[in-house]
Structure formats: structure tokens, C-alpha cells
Structure 1
Amino acid sequence: MKRVLVIGGVAAGTKTAAKFKRLDQQAEVILLSKGQDISYAGCGLPYYIGGVINSYNELIVNTPQKYTALTGVTVYTGWEAIVVDVENKVVTAQSQEGIKQFFYDQLVIATGASASVPSIAGTDMPGFFTLRTPTDAAQILDYIEKQNVQQAIVIGAGFIGLEVAENLLARHIQVRVVEALPQIMANVFDSDMALLVQRHLQENGIQILTGVKASAMVGEKVVQGLQTDAGVLAAQLVISAAGVRPNTDFLKNTGIAMVKGTILVDETLQTNVPDIYAVGDCAMVSNRLTGQAQWSPMGSSANMEGRVLAQILHDGQVHYPGVLGTGVIKLPLLNCGRTGLTEEAAVKAGFQACTTTMVMDDKPHYYPGSASFIIKLIADKNTRKILGMQVIGVGAVDKITDIAVTAISMGVALDTLECLDLAYAPPFSTAISPFVQAVHILQNKINGLYHSLTPSEYKSGKAKDYEIIDVSIQPAIPGARYINLTDVTGPIAEIPLDKKILLVCMKGKRSYLLQTRLRAYGYTHTLALEGGLAVNDVKISFTGRGIPEEEIKRVKGLGFLRDKTTPDCFNARVITRNGKITAAESYAITKAAELYGNGQIAMTTRLTIEIQHVPYVNIEPLCNFLAKAGLDTGGTGSKVRPIVSCKGTTCQYGLIDPFSLSEKIHERFYKGYHDVLLPHKFKIAVGGCPNNCVKPDLNDLGIVGQRVPLLDKTQCKGCKKCIPRDTCPIHILQCDEAGKILLDTTRCNHCGRCIETCSFHVFDGYMEGYKIYIGGRWGKQIKHGIPMEKIFATEEEVLETIEKAILLFREQGITGERFADTITRLGFENVQKQLLTNSLLQRKTENLQARVHLKGGATC
């Protein structure tokens, strides 16, 4: 009777053992697992942290008992292989029970990989974690809840790192991702596609720092930050997702061939040692297209390798074709898929790679919920076979990816795919599938019918000798010559036939249509920009001719306000969250002022820092420089504005920590509602006490820390030497004729100065909370906000009320009016009633989806 010994009990090991046992019921199959859990859902761990998966037990696919009952495989949990004797075919393992030897006829190594721990100081400190097992995820979640984590850093911008970041953001935790390489998702996405994803993540609240290396954890007893070459980044939690390393140390001195710790196998998944095989994250397999060795530690690959190996062990009639590195990832409001070779990898492998990047509707434009895919398709110009594909969009990118996987695996050329009869109905797809449309465009390009410039070629400057022509439906490129496609019925008088012109529209289609007309009319040097303005950042130089108003308006939306004393300079507003910045951030701002401005900075009344006198050409370099330090520009438009707070408990009078609260408000509403248009700007300020240093009541919504005295009048002795009365800064405490204390609660501002000042404990009791003012404003028409009647007891109540106020303003405000005007028009009692009930939250989705206030009323 054959004995197959499998070391490793997660994906590849359990799949191999179960499948082989089904093929050969007479064989003895033994599985050793180092841990107590087998077959757990490693890919689901980020979603457990984010709360999408609610129960720890849902992560465990199979218990050892259930697995044995289903498959007939004998399972030993808690046993770790420590020695493999290849001559005598015996594996020595250890557990708490001692040492045991396991003999085998055939050995399968499926020990997987462990999370890599960065070689930096302080990784043994509480608050630093890696994520590889369900236990890791449970410990991270427990730490978040017990430590009330508000700021987190993820090291590594691969799939797992970005998924972790997304799920931390879902818990309203401020997230930064630090990546040592110059791009996110390196080696799986080309840099042009990765940059689009990075921009999207940053716009949706995840700060990405690429080309930045971590050097040490910061903190005394627990993690308080991360030291990087971009400075110290504050955080209470650091999760390393910077790759994995194969668990193969126990194979030293066995003679098994390895590459950087991975076990080298052939197409039968066999090592160089007879009767020893390897699958899963510890195995170095081959690339299906190039035949070259490739490590692909993916759960999908591990399961397929296990299934194929079981058949190989049974009758040897199959072989493993290799991996394509297929992957898909869900991110905030965006999905990404990829398969095959990147453009860079295809060129390196010797293919004559031809690529095209296009923007496609994912469903007919008229169907509710329709959006777009951005697809990059790569093929070999000689064989016309697809080599790889990358796709991003809000829809079913997995479907597009899987079609490409099938095409690559079948080895078919573009021409075979031209009429691929894929399923169509408006709820699912366009009449011609987006994938097939991509095939058509790449066909046209290879056939010489479509002359284009890729996004990476445009970024590298290949269009510097070309005049940019805007062919969008409406003019969209400030300073560019605009041509309406439908008006072109012959040569354009002011454009010579031999002039080099780059045609640009919103997505690329109109550029192609105009190009075909112009070429028919004799134009010889036309290029269409692939992906159009949806993919590329196209700008016209205004040197010597003045910046048009529409461009001034656009950059204002980025936080750059025109310096009216100059023809082409702007003042850049740097968002400081609440007026508090780190030394590293301060250094980055001052350095940016030296490099890109006139070396001067100024504070606005809302505690925003302005870098002065930034030339127009320096706007993009300045933004890129600040992004390296995790800083953004902005704070303009009819939106929630940056949050202002006083210094709170670091002040002798501070009652609450406004930095902490304003940080949460910043993340949830300045960032979380960044794309929500309002009738006018909406300003929020947080004061730590009723001294009102930052004037909360002159904001659309102001929050003031409160300490409400709860008098125990029965303790008053009428001593007539009343310390609380003498302490009261606004003199509202009085004593009656008997010397008993009197408090006018209608005039008390809840400053808390009287608390614990009475020797007889009259003033020992108090309630901490928050007073909320609504409808204030400063500027041309100053108006003090009106306090709501309720004292709010918790931060969550405050955050919920802020959200209701924003939703009310968006839903019931008239474009152009301030929140104060809305309250006056609706009536304070009406507004307060709505803010103290939940109807606004119940209508939230409908409210945010409504296309209202598209212009807004903010002028600064």
C-alpha cells in the first residue's frame, strides 16, 4: 500500500491530500500541520479586520476532524517537520508530545510561506504586527479595539497591504501605506496603471508614500510611529505586509534544489530528488508564457497545483502548465484585475510587445449604475497572441480578467477573438464586450489603422513636438485649440497637412474618429492619446501668454489660490488636518516653500499653511513633493473645509482633546465627503473649552468641550467663604442670605473651573460633554451660531450630528446660500429637530447620489 506524506495543512497540502485520496482509496495519506488549524481562508484576513467577515470561525474552512471525515486523510496537527532524510525516506517531526518519525513512499512539501518581518528596530514592540494567519488577524482586531487606534501605517503596497489599508479605512482609521519601491503593486501592474490606482486611493482617504523606506519603530513602550526616510509618521498601529518568505529552512542539507528559499520543481511538480514534490507558496514553478521560473504565492495557484499533483502522483498522465500570476483586488470604490505579463516583463522576455490603453463603458451608458473600465491589453506583434492584461474599474473586473486568462491559456490570436460571442444584456455588459472592444483597438493599432501614443509614452515627453488638439464633446483642456469632431468635413484651414498634432478627448474614442477623418483628408502626422483625459494629465504651457480663467479655477480646486500681484503665481494651501503638524511635516512644508515657492509660508485664520508665490509650472512638482510626506493641498470649493481646533488639554483650561476629535472629523468628513458638493462651503471648528479661542460659534458648525457641574446642594454648609463662587470667571455663582450656593444654569457656560474646588464636596460631581453650535459664519456678514439644546455625551454622538448637519445642508440648502441662511429659512427648531432624529441618515444614500449643487457658491 502506497504511503503519501504531505507536510503542510493549508491550501496546497489539503488539496493534494484530499484529491489523491479520492483517486486512490487504498493509499495511506498522512498530513502534518504545524498549526492547530488547517485549511483556513488566508485571503479573507483583511476583511475580518474590516468587519466584512464577522466571525473568526468563518475563516476556518475545515477542522481536522471534519476534513478527516470527509476525505479519509489522517491528520496530525501541532506537528512540525524538522528533518527530512531523503535516503531512508523518513521525516522527523516534533510537537509538544515529543519526536516522531513518519515514513513515506512519496513526499509532498506544502509548507507555504510566512510573513516577512522588516529588518528594522522595534518590531517586537506592542502595536507592530504581521498578517498571515487567522490568529494574526484576531490579535490586530483586538489591539485596534482595546487601544482605540486612530492612525495606522501599512508597510508594503502589494495586494495584501492595500486590502489591509482599505479595511482599516472602513473602520474610520487614518491609514498611510509606505512602499519602498517607486510604485504600488510593483511587478504585477505597469507603472502607468499603478499610478491611476494610487491617485484614486489618495483621493479616497488612503495616503500612499512610494519610494519611502521604513527604518525603525518609534515609541517607548508601545508603537507611536514609524521612522522613515520621509520623516517620522505618527501611528498607534503598524502592520507589515511587505511580502512573504517560504517555510523551507528545515530542508537544509537535503540536496533539494532551491532558489532564494523556494523549492525548484519541474512540470510534474517534482524536485530534483526522486519522490519528493512541492506545491503552493513554498514552490518555484514556471511562467506559462515564458517557461521561466516564477514564484507565485497565491491561494488560487496553490489549490490548482495541489489538484494537478494528486493526479501526477496517481498515474503521471498530466503536467502543470505554469502560472499567469492572475490576481484581482477590491479597493475603496475601485476593483483591479490582472493576468499574464506586464509590458515591462514582456519586453524583457524578448517579445515584441504592443500595448493599448483604453477606457470602455462596463454597461450601456443608459443603464443605471453604468461606469467605465480602464483596460491595458498587451500582445505580441509577431504572433498577435495576447501576453497580458490589466483592468481597473468599479464593476466586474474579474470577468474581464478571466476572459483574458482563457484567451492566453488557449494561445489564440487577436483575430480569433474578434467575434468572440460573449453574453450581453444591459444589466451585465455592453453589446460588444469591453474585452472584445479592447481586442478590436489593439488589432487596429497593429494593423496600422490606429496611430496612438500610450500614457507612458506621453508622460515620457514623446509628444513635445506635437500641438495638442482638444476634441472632447465640450472644451476640456485649458489653452488648447478646440475642434468639434462633427464640424470637420475636410482639411482644417488653420492646420497644415504636415503639422504634428496630438488628438485628445475624454476617453480616446473621439480622438480615433477624428484621426480617421484627418488621415483621409491628407494629414500625415496625427496621433491619438490613448485613454484620453480619463487616464492622462494633459496640460498646456501658458508661458508668456497668460493663464486662462478656466485653468485658474481648476487649480483653485486643488488648493492653489491666485496671487493677484503676479501673472502666473499661486499660494498653495497645505492641509494640516487640525492645525497640528509633526516636525517632519513642518520640515517638508518649509523645504517645499524653498524649492517651489519664494521660501515663505503664511498661516490662514483656519490654521491652514500657505506656501507663498508658487509659479504655475511648479504646481504638480509641489504636490508630488508634499505627497511624499503624506501631505495634501486643497481646502477650497463648496465642500466640507479643513477642520480647525484649539490645543485643548495641552492648555490649562482645556476640557477635551480637540486634536483627537478633529482628527476623526477630518477623516470622516473632510476626506470621506471630499467629493460631496454642497450649496456653499461648510466650516467646522472644535474648541476645548468655552474660552472659544478658535471661535467655534463663528463656523457653520462649532463644537465646544463642556464640563457641566452637578451640584450636591445637600453638602453646602453655607460657610460664606465660597471658593467656587470666587473661582467662577463669569461670576454667575451666588450665595443666598443663609450663605447657600446658587447656580444660574441658564447662564453657566460649563467651563468646569468650579469643579472640585469646594471643601465640602458640593462641586465634586460633573458631566463631560460637547455643546454644538450651528449656523455661525465670519467674513462679510458675521453671525454667531445658535447652540443646540442638548449636551452631547460622546464623540460618536457628535460625529453623527455633524453628518446629519452636512446631509441636511446638501438636501435642503439652496445653491449659493450658507448654512446660516438655510437655518434661518427653515427655522432653528425645525433644523434642530431633524438633527436630533435619524431621518436624514435613513435618506443618506439617496441624498449623496443626487446630482445637486454642481456649481456651488464658494468663491474662496
Structure 2
Amino acid sequence: MGYLDARPACPYTDVLTIGRRATMAGHLVVIGGVAAGPKLAAKARRDDPELEITLVTAEGMISYAGCGTPYYLGGTFRDRDKLIVREVDDFGKKNRVTMLTEHRATSIDRAAKTVEVVDLKTDEVKTLEYTKLAICTGASSFVPPLEGLPAEGVFALRTVTDALAIDDYLNSQNGRRVVVVGGGYIGLELAEQFHQRQLEVTVVELAPQVMPRFDTTVALAVRRELESMGIEVLLETRVTGVEADHRGRVTGVRTSQGLLAADLVILAIGVRPNTQLAADAGLTLGRSGAIATDPTMRTSDPDIYAAGDCAECLDRVTGQPTWVPLGSTANKMGRTAAINICGGHDEFPGIVGTSLVRVGTLNVGGTGQTQAQLEAAGYQFDSVLIPAAERPTYMPGTGEVTLILHAEHGSRRVLGAQAYGTGAVDKRIDVIATALSAGMTVDDLAQLDLGYAPPFAPAMDVVITAANVLRHKLDGTTKSVMPEALRDELAEGTRIQLIDVRELDEWQQGRLAGAQLVPLGTLPDHCDNLEDCQIVVYCARGGRAASAFRVIRRAGHENVCYLEGGTTAWTGDLEK
């Protein structure tokens, strides 16, 4: 591979210089071997067959399926080899990349254009010269300084090695009680999978809701799903330490609500970008703490690029820098960096923050900004919540999708969406992610020519329906209230007349406490008897209530609105 001191019998000396070669292509050093690093190296090889490439990673494996580890632990699949996407030797040979696995990059000398690495097996120090350098160091699990750590049986999950260690520990113990600290994506995936493994699971979350990055309505639906599965959920609960027996094995978790017995503890509190190497080299870090890059993935040093979970990028909705570590984003960043390193031109435009997770029978997804994020940023916007069948209801196995859609006043630009249900949430979220990337308005969204056939989708998909309803709200022709907002108003004692416009049989199955039954067909005859206060009308999903809103408004009542999502999306108890 063009080593200066190329001696096949003994290719490394105490300090090895790599990278000086006669060709003009130069030497690319890639630090990191999970997603962005291998993607970058493979693309660079395709774009420049003459380029010398060396990949450095502290781990013994590359390109593993980190996002699949919860499903391995839960028994969805049990073949450990399936977690390895590419074997080290195979990748190196096919792409003609020198693979320095189990080597840690310890420093970068930007002036000399060298990287110092240490062989973790022998402690041998090696120096690599580079023409271009790519930092793809990823992110690491955040482990707080809890009292009682370290303790056997307390793990964080980030790598395949972590997953195998957790699996081996479970297989060697008789314990059945698992405490998952953190109610985000990884924590809930693990909770679901440990439950599938017939273990007793408790989720502990510091925030007032699980899935803090989602709107409250979605989080409440997810919490109900967890509890229906038998998973205990403790919110607004702080973990203060762990307890262990005389062997050093964990026996419990100390929290602000008391001691939780535990045979296994998973810390799923989040991750932090691995930026120490870059920071020590004087590279600029962004506001998020990740490495600042331009759209070509170049850092503050023109010969150094960054990609993957260690790199910051642009939020295409807000126009502000952001950091959202995802394997899909890492691969796109790596590809862009490789194209530019090899003399081409490509730009990574940023992300809209699209994510998916499954919890029990619920599929959950989001893209763009949440209600809380929009409020914090000062946006003027409206929202709708639409429950709908994913296909015509006569089709067997049809699931439900509840969609929340946000759009800006004035510009009418789509700002974000979230969805949950037993149906195909991913399809709807991906459509709206595309709309966000294109800067589309709700008017554009409502006119999309989406595919229709009964086995796949209804004639009016929930995306189209939500866009149309939101157009009415932005136009001022309708007025509605989100479930959590109404729940809060009722809890505060606000005087509200609740009108249920469903039929008697629906009413008898469950209704909002204190509601009056006035079926939609009879509503015009009762408008003169409505109270002089705020009126909220509701039905099962929202369609009839929207019609009732117009009837009451035409009768001269101005202080009226309808409940988004009706009883289907109501997050409180129903009275019978």
C-alpha cells in the first residue's frame, strides 16, 4: 500500500510512517469503522482507484448492525453473525483498504499532517501520514457518575460487543428483573425486547414523558402501550445510584421514588459525539458539541473531513446547526465526504430529523419539528391530529394511523409531523419528510398524487386529509383544540360545555366526563340552548365534530371549537 519502509516480513517498526508514495492520488486516512467510515472508504475507492486508503478503528470489527442489537437481545433473531454487515478482511481486500483494527487514534498533528495511533494489542505506536483525513469517530453512550458504579450487571448499549456482553450476562444469571434507565428510542426498544424475552421490565425516565423528543399525545399513547404490555413506567424519576451484593453484582437501583430491585440495569440515557480527538487537534466544534462542518463535510481544516455521529449538520426546517446521530445520516455524510475528498463535488444539505421506532403493537415516527420545539423557537403555527385507517376498512388486517401535522402561519410551510398506530406509519412520515426537504406548503401536500389501491392505501390518505384540515385552520374557517390542551383546561377548572355529536350507542361505550349527547343530525335544533361559555364539540375521530363546529358557528356562537382526533385520540379516561 505504499509504505515508506515496506518490509513484508516485518511491516511495522516502533514508529511506522505510512502515506508517502509516488502517485499523485495521495493517502486518505479514515478514523472510525462503523457506518460513516467504511462508507466513506468504499466510496473513495470507487471514485479513485489509485488512492491509498487506511482505515483505523479501535474495535475489532467494522460495519456492524448497531441498530439491530436490541432485536438480537430480544430474540427476534439469534444468529450473532448477522450483526456483522461486513467482515474486516473481506472489506479490506475488496476495497484495497489497509485495515488497522484494534488501533486507537490518539492525536492529530495538522501541521505535519500525521495521525498517531496505538496498537491496542501490543501498545506499539505508529504514525500515519495523510493527504486527506476523515474523522468518523461516532458517538458513545453517556454514563452518568452514579454512586455504586462500576457494578457487574450494569451496561450501556452502543456496540455489538456491548450487546454480546449483555446477552452473555443474562444467559449466565437466573435474574428476571431489568431496569432500563432512559425512555428514549433505545430504552424503549430494549424494554420491548426484554419483555419479549419474558423478563420483568421497569423504565425510569427523568422527563415528564417517555420519548421526550415527541409531542405529548404521542408519548402518552406510547406509555399506555408499554403499561398494557406489563412494563412499569416511572416518569419524573431521578436515578441516584446502584446497589450491589458482596460479589459486586447489581441488586438494585436507587431512585427519587425509592429502591428498585434489579438483576440487570441498562443505561440508555443518550449518547455524546466522540470529538476529543478533533478538539485536541484544534478543530472547531459546533453549538451541539459535535464537529462543525460545511456542506461538503469539510471541517475548519481544509484537509480534514468529518462524517457520521461525530459531525454536526444543518436542520433543513429551521436552518440552524443540529446533531442527530443516525446510521442513515452517517452513510449519506460519508458518501458526500468521499466524493469531495476524491476531487468531485457534492453537498450534504442536512436533515429534517426523521425517526422511527416500534413499541409493542405501535409503530411510531416523526419528522421535522415537534410542538414543543416550535413553541420554544417562537414559531407561529397551527396543528391538526387526524386518526384514520391505513387502508379501506373492508380490507383484512387494516391498521390505524394517527397523524399530527404542524404548519406555519403566513408561509403555510409544513414544519413537522408525527404519527403512531398499528398501521404503516413509516410511509406517511417518509412522505412528509420529503415535503419538508422540498420546503412544501400544506397546499402542496394536499395535492400530492399518492398511490391508491385498496391493498395499499385509501383514496384519501391520512396525509392528504391532515393537509386539507390544516388548510382550513390556517384559513380561519375552522378552530380546534388538541387533546392535551383540552385536558389541561379541564384540569384547571375552565368552564367548558362539552358536546358529544356521536350516536347513542357510541356515547354509551365511553365519553368525556360531563359531556352532553347531541347527535349531529339533531344539533341545529339545540343551538339555541347552548351555554354562554366556551363550547367544545367532539366525535369519534373529528370529522363530524368539524361539521358540528360550522353548525354552531352559523347559529351565532363564536366561542366554539372541536376536539382534534375525538375520542380515538383522547389521552384521558372515558366515562361510561
Counterpart residue number, 2:309 = 281
Counterpart residue number, 2:456 = 428
Distance in 2 between residues matched to 1:516 and 1:252, nearest whole Å = 60
Contact kept, 8 Å, 1:378 with 1:389, in 2: the verdict is yes
CA shift for structure 1 position 132: 1.0
Counterparts in 2 of 1:73-222, with a 5 A limit? 73-95=97-119, 96-97=121-122, 98-186=124-212, 188-220=213-245, 221=247, 222=249
Contact kept, 8 Å, 1:491 with 1:521, in 2: the verdict is no
Secondary structure at the residue paired with 1:217?
strand
Q: Which runs of 5 or more structure 2 residues have no equivalent in the other structure? A: 1-24
1:22 aligns with 2:22: no
Per-residue Cα deviation, 1:3-50 (whole angstroms, up to 9, x for no partner): 111100110111111112111112112111111100000000000000
Secondary structure at the residue paired with 2:309?
helix
Contact kept, 8 Å, 2:495 with 2:533, in 1: the verdict is no
Per-residue Cα deviation, 1:215-243 (whole angstroms, up to 9, x for no partner): 11122231111000110011101011111
Counterpart residue number, 1:437 = 465
Distance in 2 between residues matched to 1:537 and 1:103, nearest whole Å = 60
2:433 corresponds, among 402, 405, 426, to: 405
Q: Report how many residues are paired.
A: 540
CA shift for structure 1 position 489: 4.5
Contact kept, 8 Å, 1:357 with 1:530, in 2: the verdict is yes
Per-residue Cα deviation, 1:329-370 (whole angstroms, up to 9, x for no partner): 011111100011112222333432211122111122222222
Per-residue Cα deviation, 1:297-341 (whole angstroms, up to 9, x for no partner): 111111111111112223352221112221100111111000111
Counterparts in 2 of 1:104-503, with a 5 A limit? 104-186=130-212, 188-220=213-245, 221=247, 222-259=249-286, 261-461=289-489, 464-473=494-503, 474-475=506-507, 476-477=510-511, 478-490=513-525, 492-495=527-530, 499-503=533-537
Q: Which has the higher contact order (CA 8 A, sep 6+)?
A: 2
Contact kept, 8 Å, 1:467 with 1:502, in 2: the verdict is yes
CA shift for structure 1 position 283: 1.2
Amino acid at match of 2:219: A
* Range 81-90 or range 350-359, more displaced: 350-359
Per-residue Cα deviation, 1:62-116 (whole angstroms, up to 9, x for no partner): 0111112332322211111001001010001011241111111111000111212
* Range 396-405 or range 61-70, more displaced: 61-70
Contact kept, 8 Å, 2:178 with 2:202, in 1: the verdict is yes
Cα 1:539–1:193 change in 2 (3 A) is closer
CA shift for structure 1 position 458: 1.1
Amino acid at match of 1:216: G
Per-residue Cα deviation, 1:733-764 (whole angstroms, up to 9, x for no partner): xxxxxxxxxxxxxxxxxxxxxxxxxxxxxxxx
Distance in 2 between residues matched to 1:388 and 1:5, nearest whole Å = 38
CA shift for structure 1 position 537: 4.3
Counterpart residue number, 1:815 = none
Contact kept, 8 Å, 2:225 with 2:359, in 1: the verdict is no
Secondary structure at the residue paired with 2:237?
coil
Secondary structure at the residue paired with 1:282?
coil
Q: Which runs of 5 or more structure 1 residues have no equivalent in the other structure? A: 541-550, 555-860
Distance in 2 between residues matched to 1:163 and 1:397, nearest whole Å = 17
Counterpart residue number, 2:20 = none
1:506 aligns with 2:540: yes
* Range 89-98 or range 347-356, more displaced: 347-356
CA shift for structure 1 position 169: 0.2
Amino acid at match of 1:270: R
Return the TM-score normalized by structure 2: 0.90
Distance in 2 between residues matched to 1:269 and 1:362, nearest whole Å = 39
Distance in 1 between residues matched to 2:101 and 2:280, nearest whole Å = 25
Structure of larger gyration radius: 1
Distance in 2 between residues matched to 1:298 and 1:19, nearest whole Å = 19
Return the TM-score normalized by structure 1: 0.61
Cα 1:534–1:84 change in 2 (3 A) is same
Contact kept, 8 Å, 1:255 with 1:273, in 2: the verdict is no
Secondary structure at the residue paired with 2:250?
coil
Per-residue Cα deviation, 1:626-668 (whole angstroms, up to 9, x for no partner): xxxxxxxxxxxxxxxxxxxxxxxxxxxxxxxxxxxxxxxxxxx
Distance in 2 between residues matched to 1:485 and 1:172, nearest whole Å = 47
Contact kept, 8 Å, 2:32 with 2:57, in 1: the verdict is yes
Secondary structure at the residue paired with 1:398?
helix
Secondary structure at the residue paired with 1:92?
strand
Per-residue Cα deviation, 1:513-546 (whole angstroms, up to 9, x for no partner): 2222333343332210111122224679xxxxxx
Contact kept, 8 Å, 2:484 with 2:571, in 1: the verdict is no
Distance in 2 between residues matched to 1:514 and 1:339, nearest whole Å = 32
Per-residue Cα deviation, 1:442-492 (whole angstroms, up to 9, x for no partner): 111111122111123213317923200112232132542101112335553
Contact kept, 8 Å, 1:377 with 1:389, in 2: the verdict is yes
CA shift for structure 1 position 371: 2.7
Identity of aligned residues (%): 38
Counterpart residue number, 2:7 = none
Amino acid at match of 1:190: D
